């Protein structure tokens, strides 16, 4: 069930009405409704993988209780290790097994050895990377005594499977989400209306920006051998906004939907393309994943403590794992390594935290220096996106070679982007409007936040109608979210 589907448009109001107007007097029943709704939501993808989700939930729930009640440290460590190994084992089998087998076969072939090894060719369960990390953070926090395990199985199950975040995050922490699930919730009109505004903006990002940019990006990447450098340049620009609009749009819909039920999820994006260096970009892009790796991998490895060699090692490990988390393809691994190369000089020079506040904090426009830094950072990110989008390393290399050929300075062919649903200039104009709105709203959690406090009712509703009409105008075939594949 997609957030941008008719099915979800029917599903959400039904759950909302039952939650607030039928079952509002009993927290336990409300949470049971959220669990049933979440399991149904997940089963709409493929009911066969419900067993995997439920197995993961039961394993971590039981392991956390055993860790908490165990009197010996060795027993605690046994249950922690068991949970981690089984969770990562499932992830390895479903997501990475075929990749390792094919890589091993290719290595043998390169030295003249033919191998016929078994591959599984199984479907990747949607959301497995996200709900696995939910469970792992819970188990580790219980082991480190940062949180107490809950004895209420339904509450814990909702924490892992809450439908707004189940398939593509944000990756929540038990210390943040579980207390909200366990506490009585009262309907808050202002919170719910703000949630609807965030859903509206998320749908705009996905349907109007991401899905239309995808058409132009696909033309560039699918036909890179037949295009010139300037056309490939436009292609990577369009892909950068496709992936941003797609993933941050999903996160906006997830956060807005959760807010309808009185629950606040972790912020996952904070205008990353307005960053002035790569370190700031990673504080603003997929925030929940970056902070997860920081807290559960980077800091345990030693973090910024120790020699410079250890700091470099730790940083490389984090970005390498981050790349591998995104998918079983060498392109993602090289993408992660490239970002490590971007990041490490800032870290060694102790400049990785020099840009904490939002750009042009007290001004309407950025200074020339800020604009240059922002453009340079965006360019570095876009170059790395080539690896992220390419089918394989050979494809990425071909794309880069043509991109940086003399044809980069040639005019784009007027026929290149002709065979799209909507004209090039129309989508380019929408992109400029989108960037302008995001820039003006960069100090907020999302541009439409608290709109009712600053704009009169007629103008406000005119804006809602305009955005809603634009979404309906561009609504076509349901397009799956990019991060569902991770």
DSSP states along 391-421: SSHHHHHHHHHHHTSGGGGSPPPTTTT-SSS
Please report, for residues 59, 156, 360, 387, the alpha-carbon distance to residue 40 in angstroms, rounded to integers and kept in the order given.
21, 17, 45, 36
Total domain count, the chain: 2
Q: Which of 349, 194, 346 is nearest to 283 (CA)?
A: 346
Mean pLDDT of 137-152: 95
- Range 306-314 average pLDDT: 90
Lowest mean pLDDT among 123-132, 226-235, 467-476: 123-132
Structural domain contains residue 299:
no
**And the tokens for 141?**
């926090």
| More confident position, 65 or 307 | 65
Shared domain check, 375 and 230: yes
pLDDT at 49: 87
Output 231 or 121, whichever has higher pLDDT.
Answer: 231
CA distances to 65, 127, 408 from 150, rounded to whole Å, are 8, 23, 58
Joined tokens for residue 467: 């955005």
Same domain, 202 and 123: no
- Neighbouring residues of 296: CB distance < 8 A, sequence distance ≥ 6: 136, 137, 140
Residue 51 lies in a domain: yes
Token pair 């989108």 is at which residue? 434
pTM (predicted TM-score): 0.93
Indicate if 228 and 368 belong to the same structural domain: yes
* Residue 292 counted as domain residue: no
Residue 443: its pLDDT value, please? 93
d(CA 124, CA 139): 24
Indicate whether 127 and 203 sit together in one domain. no
Return the active site residues: 326
Q: Would you say the C-alpha torsion 287, 333, 482, 162 has a positive or negative sign?
A: negative
Half-sphere exposure of 332 (CA within 13 A, CB side): 13
- 292 prior amide bond cis, ω within 30: no
Same domain, 93 and 163: yes
For residue 2, name the pLDDT band (cuts at 50, 70, 90): confident
Residues 155 and 203 reside in one and the same domain = no
* Any domain includes 285: no
Verify that 24 and 142 share a domain, yes or no.
yes
- Mean pLDDT score, 325-332: 87
Say if residue 129 is in the same domain as residue 215: no
Contact by Cβ (8 Å): 373, 276: yes
Residue 353 near residue 343, CB atoms below 8 Å: no
Asked if 155 and 204 sit in the same domain, the reply is no
Statement to judge: residues 126 and 223 lie in one domain: no
- Listed range (63-77, 266-280, 416-430) with the worst mean pLDDT: 416-430
Residue 481's domain comprises: 191-276+355-485
Question: Quick check: is 124 in a domain?
Answer: yes
What pLDDT does 104 receive? 60
Among candidate residues 147, 172, 187, the one where a domain is terminated: 187
Range 191-210 average pLDDT = 95
- Shared domain for 179 and 204, answered yes or no, is no
Answer with the one of 139, 161, 187 that is the final residue of a domain: 187
Percent residues over pLDDT 70 in the chain: 94
Residue 6 pLDDT: 84
The more confident residue out of 307 and 183 is 183
N- to C-terminal Cα separation, the chain? 17
How many whole angstroms separate alpha carbon 435 and alpha carbon 273? Answer: 10
Helix or strand holding residue 255 (H, E)? helix 229-260
For residue 289, being part of any structural domain is answered with no
* Single residue among 163, 187, 211 that ends a domain in this structure: 187
Residue 432 neighbours by CB under 8 Å, 6+ apart? none
Residue 57 has pLDDT above 80, yes or no: yes
């Amino acid at each position: 069930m997609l957030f941008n589907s008719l099915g979800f448009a029917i599903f959400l109001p039904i759950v909302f009405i039952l939650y607030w107007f039928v079952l509002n007097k009993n927290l336990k029943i409300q949470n049971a409704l959220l669990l049933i709704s979440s399991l149904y939501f997940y089963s709409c993808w493929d009911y066969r993988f419900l067993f995997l989700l439920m197995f993961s939930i039961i394993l971590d729930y039981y392991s956390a209780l055993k860790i908490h009640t165990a009197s010996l440290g060795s027993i605690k460590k046994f249950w922690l290790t068991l949970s981690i190994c089984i969770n990562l084992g499932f992830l390895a089998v479903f997501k990475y097994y075929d990749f390792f087998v094919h890589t091993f076969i290719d290595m043998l072939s390169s030295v003249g050895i033919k191998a016929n090894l078994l591959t599984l060719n199984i479907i990747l369960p949607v959301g497995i990377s996200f709900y696995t990390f939910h469970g792992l953070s819970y188990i580790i926090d219980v082991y480190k005594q940062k949180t107490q395990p809950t004895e209420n199985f339904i509450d814990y199950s909702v924490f892992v499977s809450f439908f707004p975040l189940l398939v593509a995050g944000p990756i929540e922490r038990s210390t943040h989400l579980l207390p909200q699930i366990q506490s009585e919730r009262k309907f808050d009109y202002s919170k719910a209306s703000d949630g609807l505004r965030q859903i509206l903006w998320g749908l705009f990002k996905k349907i109007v920006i991401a899905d239309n940019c995808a058409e132009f990006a696909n033309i560039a990447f699918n036909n890179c051998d037949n295009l010139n450098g300037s056309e490939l340049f436009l292609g990577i620009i369009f892909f950068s906004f496709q992936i941003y609009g797609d993933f941050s749009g999903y996160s906006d819909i997830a956060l807005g939907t959760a807010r309808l039920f009185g629950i606040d999820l972790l912020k996952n994006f904070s205008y990353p393309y307005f960053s002035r260096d790569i370190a700031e970009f990673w504080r603003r892009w997929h925030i929940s994943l970056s902070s997860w790796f920081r807290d559960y991998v980077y800091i345990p490895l030693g973090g910024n403590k120790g020699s410079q060699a250890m700091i470099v090692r730790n940083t490389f490990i984090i970005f390498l794992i981050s790349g591998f988390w995104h998918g079983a393809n060498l392109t993602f691994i090289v993408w992660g390594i490239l970002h490590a190369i971007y990041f490490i000089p800032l870290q060694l020079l102790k400049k990785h935290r020099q840009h904490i506040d939002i750009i042009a904090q007290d001004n309407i426009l950025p200074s020339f220096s800020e604009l240059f830094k922002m453009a340079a950072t965006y360019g570095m990110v876009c170059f790395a996106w080539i690896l992220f989008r390419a089918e394989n390393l050979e494809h990425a290399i071909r794309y880069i070679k043509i991109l940086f050929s003399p044809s980069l300075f040639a005019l784009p062919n007027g026929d290149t982007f002709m065979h799209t649903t909507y004209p090039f200039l129309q989508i380019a104009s929408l992109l400029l409007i989108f960037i302008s709105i995001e820039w003006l709203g960069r100090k907020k959690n999302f541009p439409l936040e608290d709109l009712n406090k600053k704009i009169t009712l007629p103008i406000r509703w005119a804006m809602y109608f305009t955005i809603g009409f634009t979404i309906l105008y561009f609504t076509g075939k349901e397009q799956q979210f990019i991060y569902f594949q991770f």
